[in-house]
Amino acid sequence: MSGPSGPLTLLNPAGYGTASHQGRGMYQVIRAADQQRSPGGTLTFEGEVHGSGVSFFLVNNQPGEGPDLHKHPYSETWIVRGGKGRFTADSEDIDAGPGDILVVAPETPHKFKNVGTERLEVICIHASPRIVQEALE
């Protein structure tokens, strides 16, 4: 293959695409077809193996679903893309919908559940190159 400035190399180790574009440094492309999702539809991305300083979950939960109470040694940012969720942080419940952004500080016990009638789509950004989680329930 050739890119606009020279050869473009695509590799596919362990189901992920890595690309190097000559003269522009390294970058990675992870195609949708190569992404592994849980049976419930959630994608887990740990940045460390890709040279990224962040990790995330792309959550796609059915009504009533969501993670139980847990905490992380770093902050977590949630972006609600669709549906309605009830987020609990430090024993406080907050309802959130599409477009809402919530941030929880490190070591804060938290969880969320889909309290709507449609799927809950949330991006859960972890300020860490790998996901570190301690279950509390």
What pLDDT, in 10s, does the model give residues 54-91?
Answer: 999 999 999 999 999 999 999 999 999 999 999 999 99
CA dihedral 29, 60, 78, 19 (to 10 degrees): 0
Give the dihedral of Cα atoms 109, 67, 84, 82; nearest 10 deg.
110
Residue in 110, 93, 107, 103 with CA at minimum distance from that of residue 125: 103
For the chain, percent of residues with pLDDT exceeding 90: 69
Domains of the chain, earliest start first: 1-35 (no CATH), 36-135 (2.60.120.10)
Give the pLDDT mean for 109-135. Answer: 98
Q: What is the pLDDT of residues 82-93, one digit of tens each?
A: 999 999 999 999
Specify the residue for token string 């193996």.
49
CA distance 65 to 117: 11
pTM above 0.85, yes or no: no
Residue 4's pLDDT is what? 38
